[in-house]
């Protein structure tokens, strides 16, 4: 989200042609909507978890399951970033803003996955859960895909 703020700047010193002058400058202050980013991460994780849970009963092959999940992660990340997080935002730097959102999403997902997966459903894998190819690729896509969503909203 970008706000424009007008600041008064006083020019110090003597001006040979007259009195001291004042200059008004507009600057842009950029800040991430952290609340919206956290909600995006929670929604993304919940949807992926629900779809993955349902797929476990339909797709017993781990390789096929992982491939399907990676596609789902990419699609959901794009849709949430474009239609929820970036909705109504004026995006000046899509790479920066998309990358920041992607990193925040991954942090939120990891925070949720540690108790749910590492110490929960995937306890037999433990921390090795994070070394599964489809989990790693999902994290990479979660960081990169918001950049494309930001470009589409620009």
pLDDT tens-digit profile of 31-53?
A: 558 999 999 999 999 999 999 99
Q: What is the pLDDT of residues 75-122, one digit of tens each?
A: 999 999 999 999 999 899 999 999 999 999 999 999 999 999 999 999
Task: Say how far apart CA 151 and CA 38 lie, in whole Å.
Answer: 21
Question: For residue 152, what pLDDT is reported?
Answer: 87
CA 92 from centroid of its chain's CA atoms = 16
Report DSSP state, residue 88.
T
Question: For residue 30, what pLDDT is reported?
Answer: 41
Q: Tell me how many degrees the CA angle 68-72-77 measures, rounded to the nearest 5.
A: 155
Question: For residue 146, what pLDDT is reported?
Answer: 98
pTM greater than the 0.85 cutoff: no
């Amino acid at each position: 989200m970008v706000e424009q703020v007008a600041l008064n700047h006083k020019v110090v010193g003597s001006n040979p042609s007259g009195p001291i002058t004042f200059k008004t400058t507009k600057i842009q202050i950029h800040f991430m909507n952290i609340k919206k980013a956290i909600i995006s991460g929670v929604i993304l994780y919940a949807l992926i978890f629900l779809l993955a849970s349902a797929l476990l009963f339909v797709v017993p092959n781990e390789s096929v399951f992982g491939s399907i999940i990676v596609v789902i992660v990419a699609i959901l990340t794009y849709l949430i970033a474009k239609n929820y997080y970036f909705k109504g935002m004026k995006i000046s730097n899509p790479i920066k803003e998309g990358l920041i959102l992607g990193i925040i999403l991954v942090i939120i997902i990891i925070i949720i996955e540690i108790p749910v997966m590492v110490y929960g459903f995937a306890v037999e894998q433990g921390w090795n859960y994070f070394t599964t190819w489809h989990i790693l690729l999902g994290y990479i896509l979660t960081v990169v895909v918001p950049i494309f969503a930001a470009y589409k909203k620009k």
